[in-house]
Amino acid sequence: MSRSGVAGILHYAEAVRDGKLTIPIERIMPLADAAAAQGIAEKGGVARIILTA
């Protein structure tokens, strides 16, 4: 069952807060390194890369 809109966002935010849902983050990189982050992401894996300004 999919959730949409504000109710869906709230549902998933609460799940993250409560530790019921985790989002794997491989690394945090500056936005200036977006090209390098893209290369890393294309190599595969399940974790996310977060770009910061």
pTM (whole model) above 0.75: no
On average, the pLDDT of the chain sits at: 89
Give the length of the chain. Answer: 53
**Domain spans, the chain:** 23-53
What pLDDT does 23 receive? 86
For the chain, percent of residues with pLDDT exceeding 90: 62
Q: Which neighbouring-strand residues pair with 50?
A: 28
pLDDT digits (tens, 9 = 90+) for 26-51: 899 999 999 999 999 998 877 899 99
DSSP string, 1-53: ----HHHHHHHHHHHHHTTSS---EEEEEEGGGHHHHHHHHHT--S-EEEEE-
What pLDDT does 4 receive? 72
CA separation for the pair 22, 43 (Å, rounded): 22
Q: Which neighbouring-strand residues pair with 28?
A: 50
